[in-house]
Structure 1
Amino acid sequence: MYPNQYSFRRARTLLSVSTFLIGLALSPVSAQDRPPVLKALEAKGVTVVGTFPSAGGLTAWAGYRGQQPIALYATPDGKHLIAGTLLDDRGNDVNQEALKKAVTTPMADAVWGQVEKSHWIADGSSKAPRIVYVLTDPNCPYCNKLWSDARPWINAGKVQLRHIMVGILTPTSAGKAAALLTSKNPAAALADYEQANTAANAKVMAAGRPKPLEDHGIKPMGKIPAAAQAKLDANEQLMQSLQLRATPALIWRDDKGEVQTRTGAPDGALAAAFGPL
């Protein structure tokens, strides 16, 4: 992880690690039906995928919230759900693998869909076989280093890097991010800006004295238009929801289709996200 981090307030715990009971006064339903109590959870942001094979003869429902899988067990009367871990007599989680299998694909698709709808600037060919997203603050020296380190993959047409712009590092970060997003050609503006900073930033990084990037043709917007501010706010909310607390932060899908994230990209680590050259 890179040392210049932007820390969000710790998110409130959404679901207790321990098992808890949710009770509602609803009409009884059979174990084969969809319990109405599930609707209460879905209204609170839990996505319920469906049933999965469960040990112990219970009806098990697979769900998730954010990137957290949740196992739900319906009581026979349909009035309650037990959310938590089902253990055998040796203390082993007997449904862990079944739950993971049930939610992995829909959970990854949902997260990836959110990322795709974020507000980003393309870097590289749209025909590249691999797409990688990166949360980028325009004043972040480590983001500039990543931009530079990514050139072999970008220039070879193997990766399109999509910069999800955020303005969190310094007082001028949001103004620069807005200026880039609202420019006539955002891709060209970002490329020119990053390239103009590369040489000087490499020197201060090598000396161990990283500092915010110079303006180099990007004048921070003093008053950010409402539409641009809404895009920056949405990108920051996405950053929070993915529990990514620093820039740069990479988001990609691996060969199995699962969504992977990584904060920072130390030397030699890009191949995990970008693939082989």
Structure 2
Amino acid sequence: MFQQSLCFSSLLLASLALGAAPAHAAEMPEAVTALQAKGLKVVQEFEVGGGLRAFAGVAGDVPVAVYLTSDGKAIIGTRLDEKGQALDEEILEQLVAQPMAEQAWAQLTEADWVLDGKPDAPRIVYTFSDPNCPYCNRFWQAARPWVDAGKVQLRHVLVGVIRADSPAKAAAILEAKDRTAALLENEHNFSRGGIKPAAKISAKAGASLNANQALMASLGFRGTPGIVTQDGKGGLTKLNGMPQPESLPELFGPL
């Protein structure tokens, strides 16, 4: 089970390692090296006392702490004080979670996305969208009050994963002279089949779709829509699938 939980994104973690002072492989205890072989990414060792060594790392897209006992055994989990309070959340946030969030947001910003809304709308929400995805269309509809009010801009990171013609439909949007208009055409006409697929997917559009799909996977999304926004505390809020209606004000902010 542990090995299954350690699938992680080389896109994010390679970038994260550049910004930290990682523990060197030569210094790694055998138990930690064994965990690395199963997919754990160790970012940095940190001090905890009590005869333990501690390593901040990432499993999947989740920050984890690995504690090494004096007899060389590794423990993965949460260290608690005598009152049952977690001790190392702040250091994990500093060493792992915050840099990961910043890197992920930078990658989203640099992705080939399509704007939906006013470019100066203060709230930015990224959504991995497939032109054939009914839940993406529902999310698009649900966002209209905030988008139309100029409160939110959706940035659609297009992928083609649902049907055989999804890549060609996504390419038709990416290659359009007015990409926002093409996106809206697909959404408004979704029940009638949406936008006409591109006759041929250009190399540029194909590269964008491949990069977008890789980014989607790196952020832990296996389907659409995959929704990402900032939480106001330096971290990210990630939602898999269509949010419940009552959660939309929390996602988008007040109208």
Shorter-chain TM range is 0.7 to 0.9
CA distance in 2, matches of 1:122, 1:131: 10
Q: What is the CA distance between 1:237 and its match in structure 2?
A: 1.7
Q: What is the CA distance between 1:214 and its match in structure 2?
A: 0.9
Q: What is the CA distance between 1:107 and its match in structure 2?
A: 1.8
Normalising by structure 2, we get a TM-score of 0.74
Name structure 2 gaps, 5 residues minimum. 8-21
Name structure 1 gaps, 5 residues minimum. 1-10, 16-32, 202-212
SS of alignment partner, residue 58 of structure 2? strand
148 and 52 in structure 1: CA distance in 2 versus 1, 3 angstrom threshold: same
186 and 255 in structure 1: CA distance in 2 versus 1, 3 angstrom threshold: same
Q: How big is each residue's C-alpha offset from its partner over 1:102-157, in whole Å with a ceiling of 9 and x where there is no partner? A: 32211211222222222210111121111000111111222222212211111111
Matched, 1:37 2:20: no
CA distance in 2, matches of 1:189, 1:164: 14
- 2:13 corresponds to: none
- 2:189 corresponds to: 196
- Give the partner amino acid of 2:122: P
Q: What is the CA distance between 1:238 and its match in structure 2?
A: 1.9
CA distance in 1, matches of 2:252, 2:78: 38
- Give the partner amino acid of 1:224: I
Q: Is the 8 A contact 2:80 2:87 kept in 1?
A: no
Which has the larger share of helix? Answer: 2
156 and 100 in structure 1: CA distance in 2 versus 1, 3 angstrom threshold: same
Between 1 and 2, higher relative CO (CA 8 Å, sep ≥ 6) is seen in: 1
Instruction: Give the alignment of 1:147-158 within 5 angstroms.
Output: 147-158=140-151
Matched, 1:100 2:78: no
Q: What's the Cα RMSD here?
A: 3.3
SS of alignment partner, residue 276 of structure 1? coil
- Give the partner amino acid of 1:67: D
Q: How many residues align?
A: 228
- 1:22 corresponds to: none
- 1:254 corresponds to: 231
Q: How big is each residue's C-alpha offset from its partner over 1:174-219, in whole Å with a ceiling of 9 and x where there is no partner? A: 110011011111112112332234xxx4xxxxxxxxxxx513xx32
Match of 1:268 among 246, 249, 252: 246
184 and 114 in structure 1: CA distance in 2 versus 1, 3 angstrom threshold: same
Q: Highest CA radius of gyration, 1 or 2?
A: 1
